[in-house]
A and B are shown apart, each in its own frame.
Chain A
Amino acid sequence: MLSGIGVRFGGLVALDDVSLQVPDDTVVGIIGPNGAGKTTLFNVVCGFVRPQAGSMSWQGAPLRPKPQRLARLGIARTLQGDGLFAGLTVLENVMVGATRFARAGFGQGLLGLPGSARDERALREQALACLDQLGMADQADRMPGSLPYPLRKRVGLARALVSRPKLLLLDEPAGGLGGEDVDELAALIRGLPGQGCAVLLVEHHMDLVMQVSEHIVVLDFGRVIAAGPPDKIRDDPAVAEAYLGTEAGEASVSQP
């Protein structure tokens, strides 16, 4: 739940009075042209960017996010591109995502106490189970660089899901994916609310957003220009204008 968020970078207004809500167990889509402030909004929620105005709350409590605290709050995020650790195996990548479940500290690790090894095994099992759910258990020991791009994206997704988030922030999950992969992704996203995970989705792939979102927020130049269910957004003239830069009617005429 965000209300009245404002962010400026110097003289540039990146977000202006943006409010939105992600109710439990729903998928909310954010769309808008390049530079509309979608990723900035994610960075605000993650604590990479501090807003100059507005407030956020999460599960009834005020949210002043710090990136390393998010996972513990039950918020996970995927990144544009794959954002994977190139030097770690697929399984280890996912294990880092589960790191909030680890208990043993550095001292124990150094002294090789059993608690730390037990921790590591638990992480390993959780990560494997998560990869298995996404049908990737057999790729666990490969390096991310050796996988095709759609599978790398899926590893990124597994790394976010393994922390069992209550809210998943998806930053362009369909970027660079082909039609079949997008369909699989859509099915997966639609299944998440049923598992107790709400989704906030930033995506350019319009079909995907329309398919999976119950509610859509349209940003343009840092402002919310429209919000509502997919059907309403599809027919909203302001949205068409923002995307095409002119009256919808004229645009369709001028483009052969």
Chain B
Amino acid sequence: MDRFVFLTVDGLSRGAVYAAFALALVLIWRGTRIINFAQGVMAVVTAYLAYSISNATGSYWVGFIVALASGLVLGAVVELAVMRRVEHAPPLNAVIVALGLVLFGQGVLGMIYGNQYRPAEAPFSRVAMTVAGVPVVSRYDLFVFGAVLVLMLAVAALFTRTATGLRMRAAAFEPMVSRLLGVNVARTLTLGWALAGLVGALAGLLVLPTGLGLHPTAMDLVFVSAFTAAVVGGLDSPAGAVVGGLVVGLVLSYVGGYVDSAATPLAVLGLLVAVLLVRPGGLFSGTTARRV
């Protein structure tokens, strides 16, 4: 029973991060029909920045804030400088350009920081607090839940409560019609990428302390899990990304705990294949019809 509680909480905590990361993928997919394979390396770049800033200032939180802000900027820069040129090209071009960005980013990070693991510090204790003798949840897990929850609420409020969010939704559905109505669609795309950059940066900062640490390829497996989460939930659905993230987190945690931790990458891929075979549009695909 202890084990089950531990694995569930751990799974939900990882799942929350996957949900955030999947949300970043969904934000970009909705606007541009591009899967941003470079999302992981973008997050790693901001995490290294946080590492450098935190070391220089001695404060985790200064690095944290700088990383989020740089995620926002990095997202916008990647869209304006690179992705804009392939948005209207065949989908494969965007995939290849994104993979190119991955290699480029990992190469540059390796040159600057070296290819060894560096410690990624957690701002709170990762030791689980016990309730009635059962270790339940660590302070760091609570921080992860809180941060992801705040993020989700902020994104939801942006989309449903602000004129900018309304424009972004409209542009994602019908770019031509939106332009006619006075929406600067190109700008909403840049905003979408910027937002995804911020969301991805947060996910990276939250997940890295739970793994081996900071490394240019540290987000590769996280990307696969988050991509699976996005597909499980349906790439068009932000709510689906959240549910998908939690599902993937739990599955990985149970498989790692009850079967074998070496089997988790296989489990992710198995889940991905199963969803694609059974319900290729994702679990939440029925909710939003879309003309292509």
Contact = CB atoms under 8 A, between A and B. Distances in A.
Contacts, number: 103
Is the contact region of chain A dominated by helix, strand, or loop, or is it mixed? helix
Contacts of B158: 109-110
A128 to B, nearest CB: 14
Is the contact region of chain B dominated by helix, strand, or loop, or is it mixed? helix
Nearest to A87: B288
A85 B291 contact: no
B177 interface: yes
Contact of A119 (B163, B177, B184): B163
B202 interface: no
Nearest to A92: B166
B180 interface: yes
Given A85-B177, A123-B166, A96 B183 contact: yes
B179 A67 contact: yes
A89 B137 CA distance: 41
Given A105-B164, A119-B162, A87 B185 contact: no
A87 B191 contact: no
Interface in B161-192: 161-167, 169-170, 173-174, 176-185, 191
Interface residues of A, number: 38
Interface stretch (A22-30, A69-77, A199-207, A213-221): A69-77
Contact of A96 (B161, B170, B184): B170
A46 interface: yes
Interface of A: 46, 48, 67-72, 76-77, 79, 83, 85-88, 92, 95-97, 99-100, 102, 104-106, 108-110, 112, 116-117, 119-120, 123, 145, 159, 163
- Among all A-B residue pairs, the 6 with the closest Cβ atoms: A71-B182, A102-B163, A109-B162, A67-B179, A109-B164, A96-B170
